[in-house]
Structure formats: C-alpha cells, structure tokens
C-alpha cells in the first residue's frame, strides 16, 4: 500500500450482491477505494456513515492501518504503532486489484458489474470475499437517493481515466477510452461498457 507515487483518487460505497441458486442472495457491504494504480476493496461496517467518513479521503494513515491489520503479525504491528485488531465499526481490508485487470459495465442508474480479471483476491481470511472475478455492485444507500447515480458515474469515469493513464505509464504508445450504449426499446435504462485498449 505504501508507495511514494500512489495517489488516492476517490471512493464509492456499494453493496455486492452474490446470487446463489440454492439460497437467498447474499449482500456484502463494501467501499471501492480507487488509487491511480490499484483498486482497494474494503469491508464497510453497518451504519449510516459513508466509507469516506470512516477513512477520510485525505487520511492515508487510516488506509495504511487498515491494510496493516490484515497483513502484519501482532509484533510487527506493535513496532509500527498500528493495532493488529481494528476497533468495532472500522473498515477492513478485503483485497487489492491492479487497475489494468479491471473492466466496468454500467447496467442501470444504481448498478454496475466489475470484472476483476484473473487476479481477483484469493488469499483472505473469509471465503465469501475471495474469488468471483465478475462482481455485481449496487450503489449503497449511504448516499442520498438523488445523487446515487451521479456518484456512480463520477467513480466510473475516474476509474477509466486512471486505467488509460496507467497504460501510458506502462509504456503504451497510444490509448483511448470509450463508452458504448445499448438502448432497449421502450426502456429508459441503457447498458454502458467502459473500457480501454493500448498499443505498444
């Protein structure tokens, strides 16, 4: 997590919906924290506070403590002054994905799919947070109803901008970002796919 050129861009509170043919869907409360090179998935506790309120977009020390609580031994955390166990109501680390592995599909005003590619988080204490390279997210109700769609669109655009810039940093000679819209007859909703490509 600690990197001299890593920048914290934005975050989005979402609920992941996990469908199961044998039982009712499972909902995981989480916050997607976007950096200029990585996406951090954090478990969000119950309550009305947003992920931004819980960690603060300018509180990078808080993000480091969250990451350390999952990756350091008790003695290591003690030496760094970071508690091994987070207080009740704190956010928890649930995975880190490279931006170049991500593809977002905007499905409806409050919902989108996120493909995590071949490197979806797999080594976490809880199995329900592991695997699933394709995940379905609904913008959480921690936001006011009239801004949920706008929050999602801002986050998706920041993600796409960061991915294209990342390809450039990796040596791509050119790149672009695009959005394709499929309109359904008689339906106000549309399906939008955000993606980028690169050439070397």
pLDDT in tens, 98-124: 998 888 888 888 999 998 888 777 766
- Considering only residues 146 and 85, tell me which one the structure prediction assigns the higher pLDDT: 146
Q: Is the model's pLDDT at 187 over the cut of 70?
A: no
Closest by CA position to 32, among listed 12, 47, 48:
12
Report helix, strand or coil for 155. helix
Overall average pLDDT of the 152-161 stretch:
91
Q: At CA 124, angle to CA 120 and CA 129, rounded to 5?
A: 60
Using the predicted structure, report yes or no on whether residue 65 has a pLDDT greater than 60.
yes
Label each residue of 23-92 as H, E or C. Answer: EEEEEEEEEEEEECCEEEEEECCCCCCCHHHHHCCCCHHHHHHHHHHHHCCHHHHHHCCCCCCCCCCCCE
Alpha carbon distance 13, 145 (integer Å): 13
* Distance (Å, whole) CA 64 – CA 62: 5
Give the pLDDT score at 109.
85
Note whether 96 and 36 are within 8 A (CB): no
pLDDT recorded at residue 41: 92
Q: Can you tell me which residue has the tokens 């706008």? A: 150
* Whether pTM exceeds 0.85: no
Residues 6+ apart with CB under 8 A from 70: 92, 93, 124, 125
pLDDT score of 66 = 59
Where do we find the tokens 């920041």? 158
* Domains recognised in the chain with CATH numbers: 8-199 (2.30.29.30)
Inform me whether the pLDDT recorded for 59 exceeds 70.
no
58 has pLDDT over 80: no
Distances in whole angstroms, Cα of residue 102 to Cα of each of 7, 18, 32, 81, 120 = 18, 19, 12, 34, 10
Given a cut of 70, whether residue 14 has pLDDT beyond it is yes
């Amino acid at each position: 997590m600690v990197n001299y050129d890593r920048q914290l861009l934005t975050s989005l509170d979402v609920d992941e919906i996990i469908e199961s043919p044998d039982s009712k869907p499972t909902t995981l409360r989480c916050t997607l924290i976007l950096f200029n090179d990585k996406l951090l998935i954090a478990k969000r506790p119950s309550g009305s506070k947003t992920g931004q309120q819980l960690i603060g977009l300018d509180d990078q020390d808080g993000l480091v403590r969250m990451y350390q609580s999952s990756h350091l031994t008790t003695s290591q955390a003690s030496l760094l002054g970071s508690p091994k166990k987070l207080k009740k109501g704190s956010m928890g680390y649930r995975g880190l994905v490279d931006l170049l592995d991500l593809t977002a599909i905007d499905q409806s005003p409050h919902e989108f799919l996120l493909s995590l590619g071949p490197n979806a988080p797999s080594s976490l204490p809880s199995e329900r947070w592991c695997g699933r390279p394709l995940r379905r997210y609904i913008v959480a109700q921690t936001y006011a109803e009239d801004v949920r769609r706008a929050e999602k669109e801002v986050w998706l655009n920041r993600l796409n901008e960061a991915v294209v810039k990342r390809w450039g940093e990796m040596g791509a000679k050119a790149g672009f970002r695009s959005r394709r819209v499929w309109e359904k007859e008689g339906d106000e909703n549309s399906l939008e796919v955000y993606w980028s490509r690169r050439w070397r």
